Structure 1
Amino acid sequence: MKNYIIETDQLALRELTMDDFEVWHHILSDQETMQYYPRAFDEDKTKSCIDWNLANYDKYGFGLWAVILKESNQFIGDCGITMQNIHGDGNLFPEIGYHIDKRYWRKGYATQAAKACLRYAFENNGFDEVFSYQKWTNIPSRKVAEKMGMSLREEYADEKNIKTSVYSITRSEFYTKSVMSDRI
């Protein structure tokens, strides 16, 4: 059994490894799953993404983690905290991100994993604010951000997304919002 970083009733999150390449590439190379990205990932992009996460674990102590469905031990995607240059100005901010295998969409797994990662971000790091950002047309991700208790902070034009929506929640909001008292 792998060393889990986070567990919920249904999910376990652990560090990604190169052993996850095939199953993760299957998810990241799917056109529908990656519809809000410029393009689906090829094998090189998936490998570089694993390398990037391994480097993030060493540098920050976190990154995107493998999401495992506990009842079947099935790898169903990733979720975690990454440091992102949200505004393109060189400043890095903690962001909750995820990719879930489309066979497991609409079951609440993205929200469950994202809430657990948000809790982890505030309980294990000194962050004053945590973000989620996405292409403005990515309604499912916007809904997950709202279910995490985040609020839309801004939208701005950019080359990659045409328009990017930025959600966030502050540490004080996190500890006062009832959404986080829900069992995860």
Structure 2
Amino acid sequence: MLPTYDAVMVPPSTARLRFRQMTEDDLDVMADLLGDPRVMEFYPSPKTREAARAWIEWNEANYAAHGYGLWIVEDHNNTFIGDCGLTWQQVCGRRELEVGYHVRTELQGRGLATEAAAACRDHARSIGVEHLVAIIHPENVRSQRVAVKIGLSLEAEDSTGGMRRLVYGGNL
């Protein structure tokens, strides 16, 4: 049986962003985010409302099992930006901790994904994580730039799940 975590520690706030746990109350904003064809351009397809609900439930389970997952990212005025955080993934036949990030289409290109991902990288370091990856579609150049900006470099190519993916990684 996995341990459960009573207190989920979110990354500290940044100059523009703050983090909080994802809950069922976030279904509308998460369904909009994950249902946006531009946000989900490099996924097999945008997610349905029910798939967004499952995404939230997956993160709630991650909080309970690990003390972290993907968090809601907001600005300091409570404006929803997207999600960003840490999740365990299968990569190249091994289990790796990934930093993942999604930002609303109209807010992309402002450095918000980089700021959020850097905060999550620093949080991972603070909880003793030694190696972090970002799994990125080969054509997703913007996400690749975010990974490089937070200190990750191309380590491998992977096709877990039948999709070709680039694995950016780095020791913390």
Aligned to 1:139: 141
Q: CA deviation at 1:111?
A: 0.1
Q: How does 1:149-164 map to 2 (within 5 A)?
A: 149-157=151-159, 160-161=162-163, 163-164=164-165
SS in 1 for 2:91: coil
SS in 1 for 2:80: strand
The code of the aligned residue for 1:92 comes to R
SS in 2 for 1:96: strand
Residues 157 and 54 of structure 1: is their aligned pair in 2 closer, same or farther, counting only changes over 3 Å? closer
CA contact (8 A) 1:79 1:114 kept: yes
Query: Is 1:110 aligned with 2:113?
Result: yes
The code of the aligned residue for 2:31 comes to H
Q: CA deviation at 1:73?
A: 1.2
Residue among 85, 91, 99 paired with 1:86: 91
Larger relative contact order (CA 8 Å, sep ≥ 6): 2
TM-score, normalising length: structure 1:
0.85
Percent identity reads 34
Residue among 96, 99, 104 paired with 1:101: 104
Paired residue total = 164
Residues 158 and 51 of structure 1: is their aligned pair in 2 closer, same or farther, counting only changes over 3 Å? closer
TM-score, normalising length: structure 2:
0.90
CA RMSD of aligned residues (A): 1.5
Q: CA deviation at 1:4?
A: 5.9
SS in 2 for 1:81: strand
Q: Which blocks of at least 5 consecutive residues in structure 1 are unaligned?
A: 172-184
Residue among 69, 76, 80 paired with 2:75: 69
CA contact (8 A) 2:91 2:158 kept: no
